[in-house]
Structure 1
Amino acid sequence: MSAKPILLAALACGVLHAGAEPMNLAASSKLPSGPGLAAAFSGDKGIGASKEVIFHDDFEEGDIGETWDETGNKHGKVLSFGQAGSGLGKRSLRVETHLGEDTGGGLTKWFESADTLFVRFYTRFDAGCDYVHHFVTLRANKSLQGKDRWSGFGGAGLKPDGEERFSTAIEPWGNWAKWAAPGRWNFYSYWHEMAVSKDGKYWGNSFVVPEAPLIPKEKWICVEFMLKHNTPGERDGEQAFWIDGQLLGHWTGINWRKSPALRANALTLETYITDRWTKNPVNVVSFDNVVIARSYVGPVGKP
Structure 2
Amino acid sequence: MTRTRRPLARRIAVAVVLALSATTIPRPSPASADSGGDPDGSRDLAEAGRLPEGDGLAAGFVADRGVAGHPDVVFADDFEADARIGSTWDETRDDHGKVLSIVDESAEDPRVGSKSLKVTARLGENTGGGLTTWFESSEVLFIRFLVKFDPDCDYVHHFVTLRANRGLTGRDRWTGFGGAGVKPKGHERFSTAIEPWGDWGKNPPPGEWNFYSYWHEMEASPDGKFWGNAFRPAEQPGIPRGDWICVEFMLKHNTPGMADGEQAYWIDGELRGHWGGINWRDDPGLTANALTLESYVTDRWTENPVNVVLFDDVVIARSYVGPPGLP
TM class by shorter chain equals over 0.9
Instruction: Give 1:262-301 correspondences, 5 Å limit.
Output: 262-301=286-325
Tell me which residue corresponds to 1:2: 27
CA distance in 2, matches of 1:99, 1:191: 31
Name the SS of the counterpart of 2:112 in structure 1: coil
- Pick closer, same or farther for the CA change 1:278–1:45 going to 2, 3 Å: same
CA distance in 2: counterparts of 1:22 and 1:291, whole angstroms: 30
SS at match of 2:173: helix
- Specify the alignment match of 1:13 in structure 2: none
The separation in 1 between residues aligned to 2:71 and 2:219, in whole angstroms, is 38
Match of 2:269 in 1: 245
Partner of 1:82: 103
Q: What residue ranges of structure 2 are gaps of 5+ in the alignment?
A: 1-25
SS at the partner of 1:39? helix
**Structure 1 length-normalised TM:** 0.94
In angstroms, what is the RMSD of aligned CA positions? Answer: 1.8
SS in 2 for 1:298: coil
The 5 A counterparts of 1:123-138 are 123-138=147-162
Deviation >6 Å, runs of 4+: none
Deviation at 1:61, TM superposition (A): 1.5
Structure 1 contact 229–237 (Cα < 8 Å) conserved:
yes
Hey, what does 1:201 align to over in structure 2?
Answer: 225
CA contact (8 A) 2:128 2:294 kept: yes
1:157 equivalenced with 2:181 (yes/no): yes
Corresponding residue of 1:30 = 50
Question: Which of 100, 103, 119 pairs up with 2:143?
Answer: 119
CA distance in 2 between partners of 1:157 and 1:29 (Å): 35
| Cα distance in 2, alignment partners of residues 122 and 176 from structure 1 | 25
Supply the AA of the counterpart residue of 2:77.
D
Segment of structure 1 superposing worse, 77-86 or 122-131: 77-86
Alignment equivalent of 1:49, drawn from 66, 69, 84: 69
Identity value in percent: 63
Would you say how many aligned residue pairs link Structure 1 and Structure 2?
A: 296
Q: Aligned to 2:186, what secondary structure does the other structure show?
A: coil
CA distance in 2, matches of 1:219, 1:209: 22
User: Which of 181, 191, 195 is equivalent to 2:215?
Assistant: 191
Residue type at the aligned position of 1:299: P
Q: What is the aligned counterpart of 1:64 among 72, 85, 93? A: 85
TM-superposed CA distance for 1:87, in Å, is 2.1
Displacement of 1:275 in angstroms is 4.4
Q: Aligned partners of 1:125, 1:302: CA distance in 2, in Å?
A: 21
Report if aligned partners of 2:263, 2:274 keep a CA contact under 8 Å in 1: yes
- Structure 1 partner of 2:16: none
Does the 8 A contact of 2:198 with 2:205 survive in 1? yes
Q: Structure 2 counterpart of 1:300, which letter?
A: P
Shift of 1:3: 1.0
Greater share of helix: 2
Contact 1:189 1:204 in 2 (8 A): yes
With 25-34 and 69-78 compared, the bigger mean Cα shift is at 25-34
1:212-231 alignment, distance < 5 Å: 212-231=236-255
SS of residue matched to 2:164: strand
For residue 22 of structure 1, report the CA deviation from its aligned partner: 6.2
Give the C-alpha shift of residue 7 in structure 1. 4.9
Could you say what secondary structure the match of 1:271 adopts? strand
Cα 1:210–1:181, aligned 2, differ >3 Å: closer, same or farther?
farther
Contact kept? 2:247, 2:267, Cα under 8 Å: yes
Alpha-carbon distance between aligned partners in 2 of 1:264 and 1:60, rounded to the nearest angstrom: 27
Q: Distance in 1 between matches of 2:299 and 2:252?
A: 34
Do the aligned partners of 1:225 and 1:239 also contact (CA within 8 Å) in 2? yes
1:40 to 50, 57, 60: 60
AA in 2 matched with 1:40: G
Q: For residues 78-101 of structure 1, give each alpha carbon's deviation from its aligned partner in whole angstroms, at most 9, with x where no partner exists.
A: 000012332221110000001111
- Within-5 A mapping of 1:7-22: 7-8=34-35
Q: Report the alpha carbon displacement of residue 29 of structure 1 after superposing the two structures with TM.
A: 3.0
- How has the CA–CA distance of structure 1 residues 25 and 6 changed in structure 2, closer, same or farther, with 3 Å as cutoff? farther
Matched residue SS, 2:254: coil
